[in-house]
């Protein structure tokens, strides 16, 4: 049986960690612990394809990054991940001011398009900068305000929560192939 294809668009500011995240997960489950070296994927390698199996079904997850040479606005995604850099407050603000508006104006199916917020660079969260620190509760609150279905955090460099984040994304992607879709009703869960 041919795998079912799920298109995932990965949005977010430049340098928020999208490429490192995609590069880490592209190496397979054995590299999700952060112990292996990350070789960054090239934009020309898009879509970044991952084959996963749930039960007896196989799925082909096609991740497309905003830095793609193709115009991502012309895609018809099954799932959108809006990423931000946990160590940069401006990145979270841009998620609220720019990226959610891009999703709403670009995709006509926004009202039922599954959406997750992915906080990256968790390893750079610093208690030394009380003004810049973004705790998971704040990220989750922003995710709820923009009506995201999930809030997930991880570090692609250290592997912290990376396996769990990838599993959550895969689970959402697989649910897009069901009648219910991947939307969970507007709540979010902190990973």
C-alpha neighbours within 13 Å on the C-beta side of residue 78: 24
CB contact set of 63 (below 8 Å; sequence gap of 6+): 8, 10, 22, 46, 47, 48, 49, 50
Check residue 33 and give its pLDDT.
57
| Domain parsing of the chain, residue ranges | 4-175
pLDDT attached to residue 35: 58
This prediction has a pTM of 0.86
CATH of the structural domain 4-175, one choice from 3.40.50.720, 3.40.50.300, 3.10.20.590, 2.40.50.140? 3.40.50.300
Q: Half-sphere exposure of residue 137, counting CA atoms within 13 Å on the CB side?
A: 0
Q: Tell me what pLDDT residue 110 has.
A: 55
Low-confidence ranges of the chain (pLDDT < 50): 69, 185-187, 189-191
Q: How many CB atoms lie within 10 A of CB 173?
A: 27
pLDDT at 101: 92
pLDDT of residue 34: 56
Report which secondary-structure segment, H or E, holds 96. none
């Amino acid at each position: 049986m041919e795998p079912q294809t799920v298109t995932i668009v990965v949005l977010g500011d430049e340098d928020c960690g999208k490429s490192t995240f995609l590069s880490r997960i592209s190496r397979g489950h054995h590299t999700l612990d952060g112990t292996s070296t990350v070789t960054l994927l090239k934009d020309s390698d898009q879509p970044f394809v991952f084959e996963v199996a749930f039960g007896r079904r196989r799925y082909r997850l096609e991740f497309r990054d905003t830095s793609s040479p193709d115009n991502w606005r012309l895609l018809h995604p099954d799932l959108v991940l809006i990423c931000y850099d946990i160590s940069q407050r401006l990145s979270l603000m841009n998620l609220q001011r720019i990226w959610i508006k891009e999703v709403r104006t670009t995709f006509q199916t926004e009202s039922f398009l599954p959406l997750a917020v992915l906080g990256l660079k968790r390893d750079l969260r610093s208690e030394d900068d009380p003004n810049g620190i973004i705790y998971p509760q704040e990220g989750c609150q922003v995710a709820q305000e923009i009506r995201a279905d999930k809030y997930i955090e991880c570090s692609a460099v250290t592997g912290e929560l990376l396996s769990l984040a990838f599993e959550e994304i895969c689970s959402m992607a697989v649910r897009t192939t069901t009648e219910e879709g991947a939307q969970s009703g507007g709540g979010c869960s902190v990973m």
